[in-house]
């Protein structure tokens, strides 16, 4: 059986555009000899549609697009993910669905059985689960069709979430092949986790699996693809690349040409951020971006990602020295711009800073300068950058990292201004690792930027470590507290100094209000600020 896997990048709610993408991929698979073509979960809709499904015309227009697709499909079946109505009187109003299209008709509709409502997922808010799992009989083969979560076994979840196992239900009906349409978002380690899970499921069920995953960025989520086929012994027999669209046709019962695609963490993280930035910018209708260049590593890495995602001609930098900025930082900003081929302008904020201080002097009379004046500088830079964004219709990128955002080492309405926080889920230690990976073949980020001590340069001789713990220690505590959600006592038991742990915990909790006003960020770890993390601002739990 020659199966075509169409790993495509959809746009949420763009039914005409998504239908065209699906048809183009379908025809490409036909040219390669496919006998059946599989697309990702909600390929016609884009994932996740969230509360768009409640709009009165959303599902009707989806079904209209599905009918259009069905008319275009002849004797080679196409499996399409979409949203349907739930026709029952009780339960949620919609179904997460797959349509089997063949010979101009919708031959079969399959509903998703397991509806994740944890982390970044909230499907039980919208969808009613499948009641009975039945295979599709086609050309003498019994094919089990599942949707994303349906194939995830309890061994790969934090705890058993469901009292049903769709794979076992289908295997009990003697299926010959299992197909999974997926929209599984990326985080560090997820591709390897999927490979292990699929191999385990195939071996246990003794049937081959075709797994088709989405790629692309939708809001804060990045989908990495890495679609694959696994034989009945659990061996991967075909794997598609990550972070790029593509089609692959293979004979699922004969393919043995798999080459596992190993990529190091830094490469995966970088590719995810490039894809997420490109799709966010283009899907939001922008063609160019601007950002502040401080001469520091965070803005440098953000600029490299932007140049690779959009082209150097579509990236505009602005360096804005204050009275406390070193000339080296300005020089590093221009060196970076020259390396990348992006435009960079220099506009001093010293005059504006002096004017604001003078204007506030009657109110602040007799009081020493403190963090107030530091924040003035950051907010003036935000004003300048937003002005450039408005004038030239650039999307403004913020450049703060996860470590800073976690403990509030950032200025609301200042360096947090922008439309997308590109590296806000990248801890500072990972910023260094990825930046060194960027320079693996040639110097794109000036080495002086990577090697100098990090500093906000908002007061004389300022260094990040004047305020923060060493980043390797801070990031280790943050991983335990934010991602693994351990309490302070448990973290201390792992060998960390209690005062530092308590300080970090307090700073994370106190700065929830800032993060809830931050620009959306691209998720690349298992627990990002934003989608999937819902913490109250007003709370007293310690």
Q: Annotated catalytic, 62?
A: no
Q: Residue 427, Cβ neighbours under 10 Å: how many?
A: 25
**CA pair distance 199, 536, nearest whole angstrom:** 39
pLDDT tens by residue, 36-59: 999 999 999 999 999 999 999 999
Model pLDDT, residue 121: 94
Looking at 29, 133, 148, 247, which residue is catalytic?
A: 148
**Residues composing the chain:** 542
* Residue 236 bridge partners (DSSP): 230
Looking at 29, 62, 102, 112, which residue is catalytic?
A: 112
410 close to 400: Cβ distance less than 8 angstroms = yes
Residue 1, classed as helix, strand or coil, is coil
pLDDT tens by residue, 191-241: 999 999 999 999 999 999 999 999 999 999 999 999 999 999 999 999 999
Looking at 41, 128, 373, 457, which residue is catalytic?
A: 41
Question: What is the chain's mean pLDDT, rounded?
Answer: 93
Q: Is the pLDDT of residue 160 over 80?
A: no
pLDDT tens by residue, 511-532: 999 999 999 999 999 999 988 8
Q: Which residue has the higher pLDDT, 532 or 308?
A: 308
| 514 annotated as a binding-site residue | yes
CATH of 269-463, one of 3.40.50.300, 3.30.830.10, 3.40.50.620, 3.40.50.720: 3.40.50.620
**CA pair distance 542, 540, nearest whole angstrom:** 6
Q: Is the pLDDT of residue 159 over 80?
A: no
| 184 annotated as a binding-site residue | yes
Task: Give CA separation, 453 vs 141, 449, 465, in Å.
Answer: 63, 9, 9
Q: What is the DSSP string of 225-275?
A: B--EEE-TTS-EEEE--BSS-EEEEEETTT----------HHHHHHHHHHH
Query: Which CATH architecture is the domain 2-262 placed in?
Result: 4-Layer Sandwich (3.60)
**Which strand (E) or helix (H) includes residue 473?**
helix 471-478
Q: Which residue, among 115, 111, 108, has the nearest Cα to 142 in the 3D structure?
A: 108
In the structure encoding, which two tokens stand for residue 247, read together? 């089609």
Q: What is the radius of gyration, based on Cα positions, of the chain?
A: 25
Separate counts of helices (H) and strands (E) for the chain: 16, 19
**CA pair distance 206, 201, nearest whole angstrom:** 8
- Mean pLDDT of all residues in 415-424: 97
Lowest mean pLDDT among 121-130, 132-141, 158-167, 282-291: 158-167
User: Omega into 48 within 30° of 0, i.e. cis?
Assistant: yes
Q: Annotated catalytic, 139?
A: no
| 292 annotated as a binding-site residue | yes
Q: Is the pLDDT of residue 156 over 80?
A: no
| 299 annotated as a binding-site residue | yes
**Which strand (E) or helix (H) includes residue 499?**
helix 498-510
In the structure encoding, which two tokens stand for residue 396, read together? 């403004």
Q: Residue 143, Cβ neighbours under 10 Å: how many?
A: 23
**CA pair distance 302, 424, nearest whole angstrom:** 10
Model pLDDT, residue 125: 96
Q: Which residue has the higher pLDDT, 89 or 399?
A: 399
In the structure encoding, which two tokens stand for residue 15, read together? 């039914």
Lowest mean pLDDT among 153-167, 242-256, 367-381, 443-457: 153-167
Residue 145, classed as helix, strand or coil, is strand
pTM for the whole structure: 0.94
**CA pair distance 347, 202, nearest whole angstrom:** 60
- Mean pLDDT of all residues in 411-416: 95
**CA pair distance 215, 150, nearest whole angstrom:** 19
| 176 annotated as a binding-site residue | no
Residue 100, classed as helix, strand or coil, is strand
In the structure encoding, which two tokens stand for residue 300, read together? 């440098």
According to DSSP, the β-strands at 209-213 and 228-230 are antiparallel
In the structure encoding, which two tokens stand for residue 110, read together? 């399959």
**CA pair distance 475, 473, nearest whole angstrom:** 6
379 close to 411: Cβ distance less than 8 angstroms = yes
pLDDT tens by residue, 85-122: 999 889 999 999 999 999 999 999 999 999 999 899 99
| 293 annotated as a binding-site residue | yes
In the structure encoding, which two tokens stand for residue 219, read together? 């809001």
Determine the angle formed by the axes of helices 471-478 and 498-510, rounding to 10 degrees: 70
460 close to 322: Cβ distance less than 8 angstroms = no
Which positions ≥6 away from 18 have C-beta within 8 Å? Answer: 10, 11, 43, 44, 45, 46, 65
Q: Annotated catalytic, 402?
A: no
**CA pair distance 394, 261, nearest whole angstrom:** 36
């Amino acid at each position: 059986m020659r199966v075509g896997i169409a790993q495509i990048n959809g746009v949420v709610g763009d039914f005409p555009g998504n239908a065209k993408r699906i048809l183009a991929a379908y025809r490409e698979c036909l040219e390669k000899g496919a006998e059946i073509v599989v697309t990702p979960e909600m390929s016609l809709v884009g994932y996740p549609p969230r509360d768009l499904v409640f709009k009165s015309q959303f599902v009707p227009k989806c079904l209209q697009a599905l009918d259009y697709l069905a008319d275009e499909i002849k004797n080679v079946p196409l499996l399409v993910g979409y949203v349907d109505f739930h026709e029952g009187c009780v339960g949620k109003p919609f179904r997460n669905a797959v349509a089997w299209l063949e010979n101009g008709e919708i031959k079969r509709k399959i509903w998703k059985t397991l509806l994740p409502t944890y982390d970044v997922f909230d499907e039980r808010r919208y969808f009613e689960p499948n009641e009975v799992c039945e295979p599709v009989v086609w050309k003498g083969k019994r094919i089990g069709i599942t949707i994303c979560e349906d194939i995830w076994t309890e061994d790969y979840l934090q705890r058993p979430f469901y009292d049903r196992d769709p794979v076992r239900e289908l295997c009990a009906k003697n299926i010959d092949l299992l197909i999974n349409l997926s929209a599984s978002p990326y985080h560090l380690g997820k591709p390897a986790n999927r490979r292990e899970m699929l191999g385990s499921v195939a071996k246990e069920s003794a049937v081959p699996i075709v797994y088709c995953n989405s790629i692309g960025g939708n809001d804060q989520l990045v989908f990495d693809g890495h679609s694959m086929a696994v034989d009945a012994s659990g061996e991967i027999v075909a794997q598609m690349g990550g972070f790029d669209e593509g089609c692959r046709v293979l004979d699922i019962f004969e393919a043995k040409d798999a080459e596992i695609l190993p990529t190091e963490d830094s490469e995966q993280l970088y590719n995810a951020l490039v894809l997420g930035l490109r799709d966010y910018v283009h899907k939001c209708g922008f063609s160019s971006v601007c950002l502040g260049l401080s001469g520091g590593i965070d803005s440098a890495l953000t600029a490299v990602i932007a140049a690779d995602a959009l082209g150097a001609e579509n990236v505009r930098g602005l360096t804005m020295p204050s009275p406390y900025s070193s000339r080296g930082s300005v020089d590093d900003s221009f060196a970076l711009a020259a390396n990348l081929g992006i435009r960079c302008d220099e506009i001093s904020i010293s005059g504006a800073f002096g004017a604001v201080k003078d204007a506030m002097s009657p109110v602040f009379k007799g009081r020493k300068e403190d963090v107030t004046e530091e924040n003035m500088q950051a907010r003036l830079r935000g004003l300048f950058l937003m002005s450039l964004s408005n004038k030239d219709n650039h999307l403004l990128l913020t450049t703060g990292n996860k470590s800073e955002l976690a403990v509030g080492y950032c200025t609301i309405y200042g360096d947090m201004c922008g439309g997308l926080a590109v590296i806000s889920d990248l801890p500072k230690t990972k910023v260094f690792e990825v930046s060194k990976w960027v320079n693996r073949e040639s110097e794109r980020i000036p080495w002086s930027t990577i090697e100098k001590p990090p500093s906000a340069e908002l007061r004389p001789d300022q260094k990040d470590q004047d305020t923060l713990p060493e980043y390797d220690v801070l990031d280790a505590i943050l991983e335990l507290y934010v991602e693994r959600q351990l309490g302070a006592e448990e973290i201390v038991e792992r060998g960390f100094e209690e005062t530092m742990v308590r300080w970090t915990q307090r700073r994370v909790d106190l700065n929830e209000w800032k993060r809830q006003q931050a620009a959306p960020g691209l998720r690349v770890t298992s627990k990002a600020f934003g989608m999937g993390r819902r913490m109250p601002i007003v709370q007293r739990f310690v």
